[in-house]
Structure 1
């Protein structure tokens, strides 16, 4: 118990340290983005201030000209009768000054660099798209662990149809004429992967859109496959882990214990992701559309090879005919 307690303390300490490091990195990223935003906005403000100063100078110029014109008009009116010819020359000069000032202070001559601003918006959009392509970071991380999953038709219950490529499983009311073998489930509607894995980290995704009942997870090859015993069901024994969806409710199962996933009740996911880590002894289920964590099991240490397992469920009163389809987990699924 002392060793387990010490291990728990060590794990909590390492987790807290990692969380602090990640928080710092995210704070650094936010600081970089905030600084870049400040620089960009400052540049735009300086351009606007420069244009505003030019406009103010032109307005002062126009105001001074208006004062001069008012004074000259007063003088012209006073000397109108005595100095007609002089006044005509003066009027011509005044008109020329007015025309020159209007030309110099034309508002159409004052413009922001629209092309540059459009480039700035374009670069900002590209930056946003890049950031979105990297977020959530767990998506990029798990994609690097993507593993190929091929369903073994020799393991599938006779009421399941496995595609020739081994990438989809469909329930049918008809009992298929398939050869009997020790690997085939004869009561539970399960099918297992052909190869599986015994080391490293692996991630795979399953398309569950349009279904009202399904189960999927990870199992040892030793899972019982014959008869009606409860441990033939995924997650009901000690040798398998699964997430189950039934009529809008999610449950995670292991050793026959159900963990109701209340935080995601009412949510509908297009894809479900499953991550397993031999070094960490983890089985982690996610709503792959948004990388929403559903449930995580810590097995401590896996004692055998792991196989991927799927159960498309029965027809559920005519609402559950769509297949479970294995996805290419190395590529992005629905838009985040």
Structure 2
């Protein structure tokens, strides 16, 4: 019976190894599909290629990252199966092994289910829309709005800030569409969801599927942070723990005195090519199926930074920080805009 179980585990190991090969083949297949999308778009309108294909680049990177995660999971499982097979081989001669290991069987079943290549797809809906909008770009080229802008506008989300989460030095408008810093500590109820150590506020509603795009007016400000966060972001305790992008719970782009920095997991990504650039609006796009968080200068759809998250572990909320007064230069509000309408082209 031990020999039979040993053979069973060997067959299961072969299945997992074959799954790794299937995932690798799927990775190549997706890369080939994306390459063909490049060629199609080049034939349609080469002038708009750079901005439009930035979206495909980030989706490709996110998909590859997800594939690598799945292959690594399979690899670790094969290592564990090799060890268990070795242990069983040693136990066969002693007749001391249990016939079945339910935990191993469940691990194999769960991994095979999670790593099914058919469950990993490109964001085909977005790709088809990109191609369709590119083909029809000449119909609205006079408006000087890139094709990517039209696509993102179709994902415009209604964002309402949750005053119950706002730091006491923030004034949230009655409509929940702006946040303003004040030196005065406001008399507001103490709630578990309220930020106490950093000037943050998050949206009332989160989302856990589909694609969403939102824009914030940042003109006239010298300091701000915008991004997305899980509900689990710390609200109390050490100040650094609550800053956007300093933990694994959030992603953000920060602007301070002319310099842009992207943050996630405490890792900063300086964006020197953007130094000195000023935008009227900043756009934030998130694709749940694509595992993307993208930041753009919404005036001209200039890419600022894209994070390829792979998988999101929870619902996401929009988050912002209007920053302190910065020596009297940063009193203006951060205002959420109607992302379905274009900002003035600079």
Fold in common (TM above 0.5):
yes
Question: 1:242: which partner in 2?
Answer: 252
Say which of 253, 257, 263 aligns to 2:273.
Answer: 263
Q: Deviations over 1:192-233 (max 9, x none)?
A: 000021111000000000000000100000101001252211
Question: 2:286: which partner in 1?
Answer: 276
Q: In 2, distance between residues paired with 1:2 and 1:251? A: 38
Question: 1:186: which partner in 2?
Answer: 196
Q: CA deviation at 1:9?
A: 4.0
SS in 2 for 1:175: coil
Q: In 2, distance between residues paired with 1:213 and 1:29? A: 31
SS in 2 for 1:22: helix
Q: CA deviation at 1:335?
A: 2.2
Question: 2:38: which partner in 1?
Answer: 19
Question: 1:206: which partner in 2?
Answer: 216
| Residues 1:308 and 2:308 are matched in the alignment | no
Q: Deviations over 1:235-260 (max 9, x none)?
A: 01111000000000000000011111
Say which of 165, 173, 192 aligns to 2:175.
Answer: 165
Q: Deviations over 1:156-212 (max 9, x none)?
A: 000000000000000000000000000000001000000021111000000000000
More displaced stretch, 281-290 vs 256-265: 256-265
More displaced stretch, 214-223 vs 9-18: 9-18
1:239–1:177 Cα change, 3 Å: same
Question: 1:291: which partner in 2?
Answer: 301
Aligned length: 240
Question: 1:85: which partner in 2?
Answer: none
Are the counterparts in 1 of residues 291 and 312 from structure 2 also a CA contact under 8 Å? Answer: yes
Q: In 1, distance between residues paired with 2:333 and 2:285? A: 21
TM-score normalised to structure 1 length: 0.67
Are the counterparts in 1 of residues 198 and 239 from structure 2 also a CA contact under 8 Å? Answer: no
Are the counterparts in 1 of residues 48 and 147 from structure 2 also a CA contact under 8 Å? Answer: no
| Structure 2 unmatched ranges of 5 or more | 1-19, 50-136
Are the counterparts in 1 of residues 251 and 264 from structure 2 also a CA contact under 8 Å? Answer: yes
Are the counterparts in 2 of residues 171 and 312 from structure 1 also a CA contact under 8 Å? Answer: yes
Q: CA deviation at 1:10?
A: 4.4
TM-score normalised to structure 2 length: 0.65
| Residues 1:176 and 2:186 are matched in the alignment | yes
Q: CA deviation at 1:135?
A: 3.2
Say which of 318, 321, 327 aligns to 1:317.
Answer: 327
Are the counterparts in 1 of residues 48 and 146 from structure 2 also a CA contact under 8 Å? Answer: no
SS in 2 for 1:14: helix
Q: In 1, distance between residues paired with 2:26 and 2:188? A: 49
Q: In 1, distance between residues paired with 2:176 and 2:29? A: 43
Higher relative contact order structure (alpha carbons within 8 Å, sequence separation ≥ 6)? 2
Q: In 1, distance between residues paired with 2:341 and 2:47? A: 28
Are the counterparts in 2 of residues 134 and 140 from structure 1 also a CA contact under 8 Å? Answer: no
Q: CA deviation at 1:2?
A: 7.0
1:309–1:27 Cα change, 3 Å: closer
Q: In 2, distance between residues paired with 1:233 and 1:312? A: 12
Question: 1:65: which partner in 2?
Answer: none
Q: CA deviation at 1:13?
A: 2.9
